[in-house]
Amino acid sequence: MDEGRYKRILIVEVNWLGDVLFSTPFIKAVREKFKDAYIACMALPRLREILEYNPRIDEIIIYDEKGKHRSMWGKLRFILALRKKRFDLAILLHRSFTRTLLTYLSGIKDRAGYTTEKRRILLTHPVEPLDTPLHKVEYFLKIAESLGCDTSLKSYEFFISDREKKYIEEELSKSGVKKEDLLVVINPGGNWLPKRWPEENFARLSDFLVTKYGAKVIISGAKKDIEIAMRIKKKMKEPAVMFSGKTNLKELGALMERANFVISGDSGPMHIAVARGSCVIALFGPTSPQLTGPYGNGNYRVIQKLVGCEVPCYDLTCSDYKCMEAITVDDVVRAFDEMYVKTKDK
pLDDT digits (tens, 9 = 90+) for 227-270: 999 999 999 999 999 999 999 999 999 999 999 999 999 999 99
Q: What single DSSP character describes residue 209?
A: H
Coil/strand/helix, residue 89: strand
- Please report the sign of the dihedral spanned by the C-alpha atoms of residue 70, residue 76, residue 77, residue 79: positive
Rounded percentage of the chain residues whose pLDDT exceeds 70 = 99
Angle (CA) 193-199-201 rounded to 5° is: 120
Q: Is the pLDDT of residue 346 over 60?
A: no
Nearest Cα neighbor of 46 from 15, 22, 24 is 15
Q: Does 199 share its domain with 300?
A: yes
State residue 1's pLDDT score.
Answer: 65
DSSP bridge partners of 38: 8
pLDDT digit string, tens, across residues 36-90: 999 999 999 999 999 999 999 999 999 999 999 999 999 999 999 999 999 999 9
Is residue 99 within 8 Å of 11, Cβ to Cβ?
Answer: no
The CA distance from 119 to 132, in Å, is 21
Give yes or no: residues 198 and 134 share one domain. Answer: no
Give the domain range for residue 19: 8-146
Q: Do 112 and 64 belong together in one domain? A: yes
- Do residues 220 and 322 both lie within one domain? yes
Is pLDDT at 316 greater than 80 in this prediction?
no
Per-residue pLDDT at 137 exceeds 70: yes
Side-chain-side CA neighbours of 69 within 13 Å: the count stands at 20
Does residue 155 fall inside a structural domain?
Answer: no
Query: Any idea what DSSP says for residue 23?
Result: T
Say if residue 302 is in the same domain as residue 256.
yes
Task: Quote the number of domains for the chain.
Answer: 2
Same domain? For 12 and 133 the reply is yes
From the list 109, 110, 13, 105, the residue with the least C-alpha distance to 59 is 13
Q: What torsion, rounded to 10 degrees, do the Cα atoms 309, 312, 318, 321 define? A: 60
Position 344 pLDDT exceeds 60? yes
Q: Among candidates 282, 318, 290, which has minimal Cα distance to 192?
A: 318
Are residues 306 and 339 both part of a single domain? yes
- Kindly state the DSSP code that residue 328 receives in the 8-state scheme: -
Whether residue 194 is predicted with pLDDT greater than 60 in this model: the reply is yes
Question: 187 in helix, strand or coil?
Answer: strand
Residue 1 in domain: no
Q: What integer is the mean pLDDT of 201-216?
A: 97
Final residue belonging to a domain, choices 146, 175, 190 = 146
Cβ atoms of residues 158 and 270 within 8 Å: no
What is residue 2's predicted lDDT score, i.e. its pLDDT? 66
- Give the Cα separation of 91 and 112 in Å (integer): 5
The residue from 121, 146, 171 where one domain ends is 146
- The answer to whether residues 235 and 290 belong to one domain is yes
What average pLDDT does the segment 170-184 reach? 95
In a domain, 276, yes or no: yes
User: 271-285: buried (b, 16+ CB within 10 Å) or exposed (e) per residue?
Assistant: bbbbbbebbbbbbbb
What contacts 54, CB < 8 A, 6 or more positions away?
A: 24, 27, 157, 159
**Angle at CA 241, nearest 5°, toward 166 and 284?**
95
| Per-residue pLDDT at 313 exceeds 90 | no
The Cα 174–Cα 227 span in angstroms is 22
> Is pLDDT above 90 for 204?
yes
The answer to whether residue 256 is domain-embedded is yes
Q: Measuring CA to CA, which residue among 237, 164, 179, 172 is closest to residue 203? A: 237
Element (DSSP H or E) covering residue 219: strand 216-219
Taking only Cα atoms into account, the Rg of the chain, rounded to an integer number of angstroms, comes to: 21
Q: Is residue 315 part of a domain?
A: yes
What type of residue sits at position 87?
A: F
Is the domain of 334 the same as that of 234?
Answer: yes
Identify whether 199 is part of a domain. yes
3-class DSSP state of 11:
strand
- On whether both 324 and 185 belong to a single domain, the answer is yes
Question: Do 20 and 131 lie in a common domain?
Answer: yes
CATH number for position 128: 3.40.50.2000
Phi/psi for 292 (5° steps) reads: -135, 20
Q: How far is CA 115 from the centre of its chain?
A: 24
Residue 151 lies in a domain: no
- Asked if residue 213 and residue 133 are part of one domain, the reply reads no
Structure pTM? 0.93
As a whole number, mean pLDDT of residues 207-228 equals: 95
Q: Is residue 257 part of a domain?
A: yes
